[in-house]
Amino acid sequence: MTAATVKVEQVSKSFGRKTVLSKVDLQMEEGQIYGLIGPSGAGKTTLVKMMVGMDLPDEGRIEVLRTAMPSLSMLQQIGYMAQSDALYTELTAEENLKFFASMFKMSRREQKQRIAYAAELVHLTEELGKKVAVYSGGMKRRLSLAIALIHDPAVLILDEPTVGIDPELRQSIWKELIRLKTSERKTIIVTTHVMDEASKCDQLAMVREGRILAEGTPEQLRQQYDAADLEEVFLRAGGVTL
Amino acid sequence: MRIRALIKRICEQMLRDKRTLALLFLAPLLVLSLMHYLFNHTGDVADAKIGVVGLPPQLTASLEQQGLDAIAYDKADKDTLLQDQLDAVIEMQAGSIHLILENSDPSQSKALQMKIGQATELLAGGMQQQGQAATSPKPGVTVEYVYGSEDTSFFDTLSPILIGFFVFFFVFLISGIGLLRERTTGTLERLMSTPVRRGEVITGYLAGYGIFAFIQTVIVVIYATMVLGMNLSGSIWYVLLTNLLLAFVALSLGILLSTFAASEFQMVQFIPLVIVPQIFFAGIFPLEHMDTWVQVVARIMPLYYGADALKGVMYKGLGFPDIAFDLSVLVLFAALFILLNVVALRKYRKL
Ligand SMILES: Nc1ncnc2c1ncn2[C@@H]1O[C@H](COP(=O)(O)OP(=O)(O)OP(=O)(O)O)[C@@H](O)[C@H]1O
Ligand SMILES: [Mg+2]
């Protein structure tokens, strides 16, 4: 049994009178890709934002690498890619990467290497000098992913990372994510609506109306819902009779 | 290190946005020039035609000396004024002066009134001197002004306020919208997901936009005094210092108010609410004789203090001790807004 790197304990959160998450318990481990699936508005983004410490749970606690969140120093260990591409469009891709890299503790040499690595990973090396304003939607998404990886974080939290990315590139990104978890023992948390991607996760949690309906490996979920594939699991969990 | 990266990024962004740069550096100059032209050319009485009735010859001469065209009448009333297209009629009756003004242009009337007032004062002064030294046929009259000089125009008292206002307004607008864009595009949120401290973020923004505010202030002050020839009795360094503090207050206020705006449009809505009232309370209208509540309102406005210090230095030629109070209030305003900014960033990260 490997060590839990992210622990979510009895977390509840409401915005005004609307309860978005209620008593969520989750555990993510080192060397694991953990997928969060569920319909739009289920509370996935809210949950991962609290893991990063950008929001506080109303109840319960969240630990990352045995440190209670929010914690400023822990942010050095977390790479977060938000659901929307937050990029400085007046700047070039390289300037964006450099800027975010300098927010982390990193030597100049290290910074150069990491920028080169991250750009290569998302196939943007050739386009680094271009202004982000002229990037296509998929290119922006890739740059956003590169920024999340820039400081070599132990925990990667990716909110719908592959939206707008073509199948070929998506596959190469997933290959890299799998390499990161196996050879670098990283914890990777992804939210996704693509069931094909969900099936590549080691563990899945089905979030619906702020609760965890089911948790387990893709295979376990399929058996639990007696479904042929994850798509069916998703629909059955939502009460759709097939 | 992080602060330096923040400053560098803001500079890169600003330098690529030519329109905004132009707005920041050229717009104040353009508007100031227009205002300068407007105020220096209304109320121009250079070729005003006035009818005079029963005026002592010295007074008439003194009026003509001031460039007025004085035409003597035996009797004149409103109809004469209209018929002969006069701008005013001055009538001396039993030692008191009766003035009829055409008044289609109130600012010209004001100026005329001022000239006539000056002329009668000159005359009174002259007669006094004549009484003391009746032998000198042409008494040399010297006039002393407490503030300004014979060239003083309304614009000279207004220009310090305008300089302060433009610096305040443009810095407020650009820093506010700049930060707002970061909020709406999510880059601020992303920035807050890195280990950067909230204090570092605010320091970076203040310094980054501060550089541009500084350049703008220098350009505006130099242009106003050297090119437009605005009255500058005191030291230009105090003018710069005051404007810099004012820019800093505007900067921190702009960043703060962008917290409460959800779009650029909403940011612009703050202008009539926050900016416009300030110009009215900054001393364009003398406030001393107004109700106490008006004066209380004026005292919560940063521009009131900035304008007071600027008027003090530029028009009255005051030195540092006289404006120290105004400046310290500006520093307090900036400190307060900066503190609130650091707190407001909790919206993005609770740490
Ligand atoms: N700041 C907020 N204020 C009020 N309500 C919010 C806020 N943030 C999220 N919500 C609400 O919380 C619920 C969950 O939102 P969340 O963004 O977590 O969903 P999601 O699972 O990420 O959905 P999607 O798959 O579409 O990204 C939604 O109903 C949303 O309206
Ligand atoms: Mg979401």
Residue B139: per-residue pLDDT: 36
Quote the crossing angle between the two packed helices B236-257 and B154-185, to the nearest 10°: 30
User: Ligand 1 in contact with A22 (CB < 6 A)?
Assistant: no
The topology (CATH level 3) of B49-145 is D-Maltodextrin-Binding Protein; domain 2 (3.40.190)
Q: Determine the pLDDT at residue B86.
A: 82
Q: Which of A21-25, A80-84, B149-153, B268-272 has the lowest mean pLDDT?
A: B149-153
Residue B309 above 60 pLDDT?
A: yes
Query: Which of B186, B188, B193 lies closest to A52 in CB terms?
Result: B193
Query: Looking at residue B284, what DSSP letter applies?
Result: I
Ligand nearest to the CA of A21: 1
Residue B3 has pLDDT above 70, yes or no: yes
Q: Which two tokens stand for residue A40?
A: 């739009």
Pull the structure tokens for residue A38: 């569920």
Nearest CA to ligand 1 atom 29: A41
Min Cα separation A227/chain B (Å): 38
- Substitution site in A44, A84, A85 for ligand 1 pocket (most atoms within 8 Å of beta carbon): A44
Lowest mean pLDDT across A174-183, B150-159, B165-174, B231-240 = B150-159
Given a cut of 80, is residue B160 above it in pLDDT? yes
Q: What are the extents of the domains in chain B?
A: 49-145, 154-347
Q: Which of A55-64, B59-68, B330-339 has the highest mean pLDDT?
A: B330-339
Contacts of A9 (CB under 8 A, 6+ apart): A25, A60, A61, A62, A63
- Eight-state DSSP code of residue A205: E
Residues B66 and B56: their CA atoms lie apart, in Å, by 16
Atom of ligand 1 nearest to the CA of A38: 21
> Residue B130 pLDDT > 60, yes or no?
no
Interface predicted TM-score (ipTM) of this complex, two decimals? 0.87
Whether ligand 1 lies within 6 angstroms of the CB of A192 is answered as no
Name the residue among B13, B17, B194 with its Cβ closest to that of A104: B194
Q: Which of A14, A18, A46, A47 to mutate to test the pocket of ligand 1 (most atoms within 8 A of CB)?
A: A46
Please tell me whether the peptide bond between B195 and the residue prior to it is cis, using omega within 30 degrees of 0: no
pLDDT at A56 over 80: yes
d(CA B329, CA B245): 10
Residue B345: closest C-alpha in chain A: A54
Instruction: State the pLDDT at residue A156.
Output: 92
A127 pLDDT higher than 50: yes
DSSP single-letter state for residue A69: S
Q: Do A227 and A236 contact (CB within 8 A), yes or no? A: yes
Region label for A227, one of left (φ > 0), alpha (ψ between -120 and 50) or beta (otherwise): beta
Angle between helices B154-185 and B302-314 (to 10 degrees): 140
Closest ligand to the CA of A41: 1
User: What's the gap in Å between A186 CA and the centre of ligand 1?
Assistant: 27
The pair of three-digit structure tokens given for residue A80, joined into one six-digit string: 């977060």
User: A152-183: per-residue pLDDT in tens?
Assistant: 898 999 998 888 788 888 888 888 889 888 98
Structural tokens at position B195: 């280990």
Give percent of chain B above pLDDT 90.
11
CA pair distance A57, A43, nearest whole angstrom: 12
pLDDT band at B131 (very low <50, low <70, confident <90, very high): very low
CA angle B99, B104, B105 (to 5 degrees): 95
Beta carbons within 8 Å of B34's beta carbon, 6+ residues apart: none
Report the amino acid identity of residue A170: R
Q: Give the global pTM.
A: 0.78
Residue B64 CA: distances (Å) to CA of B51, B113, B320? 12, 14, 42
| Residues from chain B contacting residue A84 (CB–CB below 8 Å) | 186
What mean pLDDT do residues B44-53 have? 75
- The DSSP element (H or E) to which B72 belongs, if any, is strand B69-73
Name residue B135's amino acid: T
B151 — pLDDT class (breaks 50, 70, 90): low
Q: Which ligand is in closest contact with the Cα of A47?
A: 1
For the Cβ of A84 lying below 6 angstroms from any atom of ligand 1, the answer is: no
Using the predicted structure, report yes or no on whether residue B141 has a pLDDT greater than 50. no
pLDDT of residue B89: 81
Nearest CA to CA, how far is B67 from chain A (Å)?
58
| CB A94 within 8 Å of CB A129 | yes
In the sheet where A187-191 sits, what is the strand order? A78-81, A155-159, A187-191, A32-37, A203-208, A211-216
- CA A43 from chain centre, in angstroms, equals 14
Count of residues in chain B: 351
pLDDT at B143: 47
Backbone angles phi, psi at A165, to 5 degrees: -110, 135
Ligand 1 center from residue B182 Cα (angstroms): 20
**B60-69 burial code (b ≥16 CB/10 A, e <16):** bebbeebebe
Q: Is it the case that residue B330 has pLDDT exceeding 90? A: yes
- Residue B146: pLDDT band (50, 70, 90) is low
Question: Which pairs count as long-range contacts for B120-124, CB under 8 Å and 24+ apart, including other chains?
Answer: B120/B59, B122/B62, B123/B56, B123/B58, B123/B59, B123/B62
Quick check: B136 pLDDT over 50?
no
Who among A54, A72, A99 is closest to B9 (CB)? A99
Provide the pLDDT for residue B41.
59
Question: Which chain A residues contact residue B16 at CB under 8 A?
Answer: 90-91
Instruction: Reply yes or no on whether the pLDDT at B135 is more than 80.
Output: no
CB B278 within 8 A of CB B168: yes
Ligand 1 and A41: CB distance under 6 A: yes
How far apart are the C-alpha atoms of B167 and B243, rounded to whole Å? 7
Average pLDDT over residues B229-240: 85
Look at residue B144 in the predicted model and tell me its pLDDT: 55
| Percent composition of chain B: helix, strand, coil (DSSP 3-state, to 5) | 70, 5, 25
All residues of chain B having their beta carbon less than 8 Å from the beta carbon of residue A154 are: none
B152: CA distance to ligand 1 center in Å? 63
Q: How far apart are CA A139 and CA A120, in angstroms?
A: 13
Mean pLDDT of B319-339: 91
Contact: A56, B185; criterion CB under 8 Å: no
Please report the number of interchain residue pairs, chain A to chain B, with beta-carbon separation below 8 angstroms: 75
* pLDDT, tens digit, 9 for 90 and up, residues B196-229: 888 888 889 888 888 888 898 889 888 988 888 8
User: Which residue in A53, A87, A99 is closest to B351 by CB distance?
Assistant: A53
Chain segment B54-78, per-residue pLDDT in tens: 878 887 887 787 777 888 888 877 7
DSSP one-letter string for B308-342: HHHHHHHTT---HHHHHHHHHHHHHHHHHHHHHHH
Cβ contacts of B351 on chain A, cutoff 8 Å = 53, 70-72
Domains in chain A (CATH in brackets) are 1-77+155-165+185-242 (3.40.50.300), 84-152 (no CATH)
